[in-house]
């Protein structure tokens, strides 16, 4: 079969057969087969710890394999490093943006392979080519400015541009959309489709089921390091996919629904016309005990800033923040923690996990910070606390001494939640708690949120996923352009459509 | 048993300990009388005791340095603060006396208190610059690295002030239970710092700040306070080391006292397994690091290496030790180990 543009469709570019990978104590990949055809988008699905990342790392030479064969265009290859894999023709963009924030966009795209003029870097060509590479994505930025002066979405594009600049035949995208908004995702998909048209084989990993169905041609499902199967997207309904991923009939998410809010509850935190410099303007809201208050709005709408204000990270310069009815000044996170407020930040890698430290140390950290330097919990008490939450939240780790950076994203998020639950908070601020984690873990975290709510905690739930917000919130605050533009109660038609309308500006409330 | 050995060999202290052992064994064979310890007037003498005694100033500096490096910083000022402590203490003892004095101008405990308070304050200033003003540690501490010696020279009037005040000499030259007093001081400093970091939450907070300052702050840790305490401790350690150093020669030499010791202290810390990137720190490792440096220096002299090439030999050994500890070699070792494990697994199957 040959497409009109002359690219043979069924030709296999990348073939992995019987891949084995053994880590101490874990059989991470057990005889996994995987094939990628020319000109196809192939989604790799599975829960956290299913082996997706391990497989990718074996294909790109991050890990060596303990068995099996990798063939590229029919020839056996042994990628030794990502750079080596790249030179063969396999490029990858990893889950978290791994670029250098302090150097320019252009340098990031060409780092390690700058065009040279004699012994010197040819800056002019470098910048021109970087500009062209980004134009492909309709991204028009000053490539001479440092990377960290742009939002994460642009940084993601830069990462892809970096991977694509080389004449790659296989492109691996590991969770490329987790920090992008809708339009940016659409733009990314356009690019990906264009690349497919050019005959590139694309491996796509995501936690967003909708996106899988939007874009992929085939789906390979892994579970616990084993291949479940490879399917044509059209022949595998969503529910079937989820069932194959978790290995049981999946109705977890369907069971997640808000706790009915019957009696009026005490107000825990009230913001009264709060403004902060270069942050939010004139926000008033109430967060009550035993309810989930959702925050909806686009990236940069001021959702995170509101949470920051309630946690003492940002400070208001007008208006009043009241805690249980009396005005408070939250000077620092520690102030907030002492007042039993907990905050699960949006950027887990930057503000959440302390990677080098153990699971135990990560869990006890906030609790210990509340106690201070001198009331140090004994090791025995630390282990008790850590083990309690490892069990309670089902954190998948061999023991409490494991380095937290060795855990999967979902488990890291659970460790952060455990850190805050250990402080026994009355108010829990969750900023994108389900970002970058798989369906199963998402459902678990949402269920946990509801359990906490039932126990009387006041919960702020910030998420870009309207579906999640609608599912569990009792009320939703809608934010736009750094201001609150409305509030929708569960009795007043709280659904995705109304929230979208509100964001778009047709607010009736 | 196998597990214990693996645990031992994978420990951060192991490679440092091995390096020290190799240097010591080398000496045992080539340096006659290296192990012999004699008793003279109820005091123990010998090369081993000497290495221990002479490594004390660097060891104490390295103790403070370890905490600073654990937060991801460096303290370049500690050598200069060491000189400042010596100059300050001797000039306080001499007071306005123009001749070499036998008595102290002010009560001796006050001399020690003022000296240590001043160097601690200098450390606090370093911490303030780093934590509150966000100046990079190397730049912030560079200020006192140069200014410290300048102030010391101002205090001594650019002369080598000496004293004969007997109690002062006890710090650097005294004996206690057959051993030199400095060894006990070093042990005490180490014990206090160890207790403060490992028996309170302070060590955990230092490591948290060192790995991810932002996440530490979100967890309620007052990062800037932690930094200021850490730099203050480094200043205090420099003060203690300065008293020992100046007391050892009964002279305040503002120009040469503790010259380049900050670099030795950094080296000792790194040899001991604490990463310059911050995070996990190993006080015991830093002590071993200080011993490696001194043992090396001693053996170079014992082998009659010409002084002008001694530094080259020292540098060579340091390069070897640092290479052994580098991530590259660690990966290489792991690969070899895995390959062996894989072969073993094949046999079972």
- Token pair for residue A277? 């410099």
**pLDDT higher than threshold 60 for residue A107:** yes
Q: How far apart are CA A399 and CA A25, in angstroms?
A: 12
- pLDDT interval class at A247 (50, 70, 90): low
The shortest CB-CB distance from A369 to any of B212, B220, B280 is to B220
Per-residue pLDDT averaged across B258-275, rounded? 88
How would residue A249 be classed by pLDDT, with cut points 50, 70 and 90? very low
The band of B290, judged by pLDDT with boundaries at 50, 70 and 90, is very high
Percent above pLDDT 90 for chain A: 17
Residues in chain A within 8 Å Cβ distance of B345: 22
Nearest to A212 by CA among A175, A251, A180: A175
Q: Is the pLDDT of residue A232 over 70?
A: yes
pLDDT at A250 over 70: no
pLDDT band (50, 70, 90) for residue B345: very low
- Reference A173, options A187, A188, A184; nearest CA is A188
Contacts of residues A275-278 at CB distance under 8 Å and 24 or more positions apart, as own/partner, are: A275/A316, A275/A317, A275/A318, A275/A319, A276/A305, A276/A309, A276/A314, A276/A315, A276/A316, A276/A317, A277/A317
B334 compared with A195, residue with greater pLDDT: A195
More confident: B5 or B196: B196
Interface test with A, best of B198, B219, B279 (most A CBs within 10 A): B219
Interface list for chain B against chain A, based on CB atoms closer than 8 Å:
199-202, 204-205, 207-208, 211-212, 214-222, 279-280, 342, 345
pLDDT tens by residue, B166-196: 888 888 888 888 889 999 999 999 999 999 9
Residues 6+ apart with CB under 8 A from A292: A258, A259, A449, A450, A453, A459, A460, A461, A472, A473, A474
Q: Which domains does chain B have, with CATH numbers?
A: 44-327 (1.10.3470)
CA A402 to chain centre: 22
Percentage above 70 pLDDT, chain B: 91
pLDDT value of residue B196: 93
pLDDT in tens, B92-103: 988 877 777 777
Distance, CA of B154 to CA of B158 (rounded, Å): 6
Flag whether pLDDT at B45 surpasses 80.
Answer: yes
Q: Per-residue b/e over B238-257, b at no fewer than 16 CB within 10 Å? A: bbbbbbbbbbbebbbbbeeb
A394 or A311, greater pLDDT: A311
Q: To probe the interface with B, which of A65, A313, A360, A373 has the most B CB atoms within 10 Å?
A: A373
Choice among A285-289, A349-353, B3-7, B193-197 with the minimum mean pLDDT: B3-7
- The DSSP bridge pattern shows strands A120-121 and A67-72 to be unpaired
Asked which of A400-409, B286-295, B315-324 is least confident by mean pLDDT, the reply is B315-324
CA–CA distance, A77 with A57 (Å, rounded to integer): 14
What residues of chain A, 59 to 98, have a C-beta less than 8 Å from chain B? Answer: 66
pLDDT average, residue stretch B254-261? 86
All residues at 6 or more sequence positions from A12 whose CB lies less than 8 Å from its CB, including other chains? A35, A36, A37, A38, A74
pLDDT the model gives residue B349: 32
Q: Which residues contact B199 (CB under 8 A, 6 or more apart)?
A: A376
Q: Give the pLDDT confidence score for residue A349 in this predicted structure.
A: 84
CB contact under 8 A, A355 and B345: no
pLDDT at A262: 60
pLDDT at B138: 92
If you average pLDDT over residues A152-166, what whole number do you get?
76
Assigned CATH class of A12-250: alpha beta
Integer CA distances (angstroms), A467 to A228, A446, B262, in order: 28, 12, 58
At B4 the pLDDT is 60
Cβ of residue A425 closer than 8 Å to a chain B Cβ: no
Q: What is the pLDDT of residue B75?
A: 93
Radius of gyration of chain A (CA): 24
Q: How much of chain A, in percent, has pLDDT values that exceed 70?
A: 90
Contact assessment for residue A348 and residue A341, using Cβ atoms and an 8 Å cutoff:
no
The pLDDT of A180-204, averaged and rounded, is 84
- List phi, psi (to 5°) of B284: -60, -40
Residue A108: how many CA atoms within 13 Å on its side-chain side?
Answer: 28
> Quick one: pLDDT at residue A3?
44
pLDDT (0 to 100) of residue B7: 61
Do residue A365 and residue B202 have CB atoms under 8 angstroms apart?
A: no
What is the pLDDT averaged over residues B296-325?
A: 77
Residues of A in contact with B199 (CB under 8 A): 376
The CATH 3.40.50.300 domain(s) of chain A lie at 12-250, 266-340+427-509
Inform me whether the pLDDT recorded for A5 exceeds 50.
Answer: no
> What span, in angstroms and rounded, lies between the C-alpha atoms of B210 and A354?
9
What confidence category does residue A1 fall into, taking pLDDT thresholds of 50, 70 and 90?
very low
Dump pLDDT digits (tens) for A38-90. Answer: 989 999 988 767 888 889 888 888 888 888 899 998 888 888 888 888 888 88
How confident is the model over A451-460, as pLDDT tens digits? 888 888 999 9
Chain A interface, mutation test: which of B71, B213, B218, B346, most A Cβ atoms within 10 Å?
B218
pLDDT value at B85 more than 90: yes
Residues 6+ apart with CB under 8 A from A497: none
**Nearest chain B alpha carbon to A420:** B219
Closest CA to B197 of B225, B229, B222, B224: B229
Q: What is the pLDDT of residue A96?
A: 60
Helix or strand holding residue B16 (H, E): helix B12-30
Distance CA A111, CA A104 (A): 10
How confident is residue A28, by pLDDT bands cut at 50, 70 and 90? confident
Alpha helices in A285-343 (DSSP H): 303-310, 333-338
| Nearest residue to A434 via CA among A169, A218, A208, A117 | A208
**Set of chain A residues whose Cβ sits within 8 Å of the Cβ of B221:** 334, 365, 369
Q: Can you give the pLDDT at residue A52?
A: 86
Cα separation, B258 vs B238, whole angstroms: 10
Backbone angles phi, psi at A376, to 5 degrees: -80, 125
Percent of chain B with pLDDT over 90: 45
Could you list the beta-strand ranges (E) of A279-375.
283-288, 292-296, 318-323, 326-327, 341-344
User: Which range among A432-446, B80-94, B224-238 shows the weakest confidence by mean pLDDT?
Assistant: A432-446
| Per-residue pLDDT band at A25 (split at 50, 70, 90) | low
Among A15-29, A84-98, A306-320, B227-241, the range scoring the smallest mean pLDDT is: A84-98
Kindly report, residue by residue over B227-242, the tens digit of the pLDDT: 999 999 999 999 999 9
DSSP letter at A259?
P
**pLDDT per position as a tens digit, A318-368:** 889 999 888 888 889 999 999 999 999 988 888 999 988 999 999 999 999
* Mean confidence (pLDDT) of chain B: 85
Q: Pull the structure tokens for residue A132.
A: 């062209």
Lowest-pLDDT range, A337-346, A416-425, A495-504, B16-25? A495-504
Helix, strand, coil shares of chain B as percentages rounded to 5?
Answer: 70, 5, 25
> Mean pLDDT across the stretch A135-164?
78
State the greatest distance between any 2 C-alpha atoms of chain B, in Å, as a whole number.
Answer: 86
Residues 355-384 of A with CB under 8 A from B: 355-357, 361, 364-366, 368-377
Q: Say whether pLDDT at A182 is over 70.
A: yes
User: Which of 3.40.50.620, 3.10.450.50, 3.40.50.300, 1.10.10.10 would CATH assign to domain A266-340+427-509?
Assistant: 3.40.50.300
Contact B219 A366 (CB under 8 A): yes
Mean predicted confidence (pLDDT) in A314-320: 88
Q: Does residue B48 carry a pLDDT above 90?
A: no
């Amino acid at each position: 079969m040959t497409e009109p543009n002359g690219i043979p469709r069924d030709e296999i570019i990348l073939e992995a057969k019987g891949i084995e990978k053994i880590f101490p104590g874990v059989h991470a990949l057990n005889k996994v087969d995987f094939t990628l055809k020319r000109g196809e988008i192939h989604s790799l699905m599975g829960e956290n710890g299913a082996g997706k990342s391990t497989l990718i790392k074996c294909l790109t030479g991050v890990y060596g394999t303990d068995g099996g064969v990798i063939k590229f265009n029919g020839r056996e290859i042994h990628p030794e490093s990502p750079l080596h894999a790249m030179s063969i023709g396999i490029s990858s963009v990893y889950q978290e943006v791994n670029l250098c924030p302090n150097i320019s966009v252009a340098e990031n795209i060409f780092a390690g392979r700058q065009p040279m003029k004699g012994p010197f870097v040819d800056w002019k060509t470098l910048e021109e080519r970087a500009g062209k590479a980004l134009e492909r994505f309709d991204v028009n930025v000053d490539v001479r400015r440092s990377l960290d002066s742009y939002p994460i979405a642009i940084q993601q594009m830069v990462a892809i541009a970096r991977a694509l600049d080389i004449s790659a035949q296989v492109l691996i995208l590991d969770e490329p959309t987790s920090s992008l908004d809708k339009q940016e995702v659409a733009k990314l998909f356009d690019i990906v489709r264009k690349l497919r048209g050019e005959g590139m084989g694309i491996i796509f990993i995501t936690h967003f089921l909708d996106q899988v169905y939007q874009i992929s041609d085939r789906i390979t499902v892994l579970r616990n390091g084993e291949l479940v199967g490879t399917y044509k997207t059209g022949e595998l309904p969503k529910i079937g996919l989820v069932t194959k991923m978790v290995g049981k009939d999946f109705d977890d998410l369907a069971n997640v629904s808000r706790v009915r809010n019957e009696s009026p509850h005490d107000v825990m935190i009230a913001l009264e016309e709060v403004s902060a410099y270069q942050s939010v303007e004139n926000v008033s809201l109430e967060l009550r005990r035993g309810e989930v208050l959702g925050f909806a709005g686009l990236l940069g709408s001021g959702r995170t800033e509101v949470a920051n204000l309630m946690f003492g990270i940002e400070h208001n310069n007008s208006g009043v923040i009241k805690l249980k009815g009396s005005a408070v000044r939250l000077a620092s996170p520690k102030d907030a923690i002492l007042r039993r407020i907990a905050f699960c930040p949006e950027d887990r890698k930057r503000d959440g996990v302390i990677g080098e430290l153990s699971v135990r140390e990560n869990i006890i950290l906030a609790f210990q910070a509340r106690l201070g330097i001198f009331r140090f919990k004994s090791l025995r008490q630390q282990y008790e606390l850590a083990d309690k939450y490892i069990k309670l939240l089902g954190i998948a780790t061999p023991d409490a001494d494991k380095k937290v950076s060795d855990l999967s994203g979902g488990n890291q998020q659970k460790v952060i939640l455990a850190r805050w639950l250990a402080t026994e908070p009355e108010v829990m601020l969750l900023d994108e708690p389900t970002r970058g984690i798989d369906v199963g873990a998402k459902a678990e975290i949402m269920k946990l949120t509801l359990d906490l709510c039932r126990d009387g905690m006041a919960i702020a739930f910030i998420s870009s996923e309207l579906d999640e917000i609608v599912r569990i919130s009792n009320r939703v605050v809608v934010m736009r352009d750094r201001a609150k533009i409305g509030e929708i109660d569960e009795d007043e038609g709280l659904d995705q459509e109304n929230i979208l309308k509100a964001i778009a500006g047709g607010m009736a409330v | 048993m196998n597990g214990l050995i693996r645990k031992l060999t994978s420990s951060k202290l192991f490679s440092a300990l091995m390096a020290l052992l190799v240097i010591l064994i080398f000496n045992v064979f080539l340096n006659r009388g290296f192990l012999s310890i004699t008793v003279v007037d109820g005091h123990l003498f010998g090369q081993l005791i000497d290495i221990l005694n002479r490594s004390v100033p660097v060891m104490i500096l390295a103790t403070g340095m370890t905490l600073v490096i654990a937060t991801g910083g460096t303290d370049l000022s500690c050598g200069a603060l060491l000189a400042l402590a010596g100059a300050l203490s001797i000039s306080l003892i001499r007071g306005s006396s123009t001749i070499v004095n036998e008595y102290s101008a002010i009560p001796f405990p006050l001399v020690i208190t003022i000296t240590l308070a001043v160097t601690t304050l200098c450390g606090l200033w370093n911490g303030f610059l780093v934590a509150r003003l966000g100046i990079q540690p190397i730049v912030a501490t560079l200020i006192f690295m140069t200014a410290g010696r300048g102030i010391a020279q101002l205090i001594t009037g650019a002369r080598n002030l000496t004293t004969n005040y007997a109690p002062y000499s006890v710090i650097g030259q005294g004996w206690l239970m057959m051993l030199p007093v400095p060894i006990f001081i070093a042990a005490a400093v180490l014990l206090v710092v160890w207790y403060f970091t490992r028996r309170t939450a302070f060590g955990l907070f230092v490591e948290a700040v060192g790995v991810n300052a932002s996440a530490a702050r979100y967890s309620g840790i007052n990062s800037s306070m932690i930094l200021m305490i850490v730099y203050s401790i480094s200043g205090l350690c420099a003060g203690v080391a300065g008293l020992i150093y100046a007391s050892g020669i009964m002279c305040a030499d503002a120009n040469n006292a503790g010259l380049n010791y900050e670099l030795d202290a950094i080296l000792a810390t790194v040899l001991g397994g604490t990463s310059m990137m911050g995070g996990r720190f190993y006080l015991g490792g830093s002590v071993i690091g200080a011993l490696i440096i001194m043992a090396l220096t001693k053996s170079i002299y014992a082998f009659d290496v010409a002084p002008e090439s001694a530094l080259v030999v020292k540098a060579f050994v340091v390069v070897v030790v640092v290479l052994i500890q580098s991530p590259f070699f660690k990966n290489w070792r792991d690969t070899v180990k895995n390959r062996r494990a894989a072969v073993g697994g094949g046999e079972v199957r």
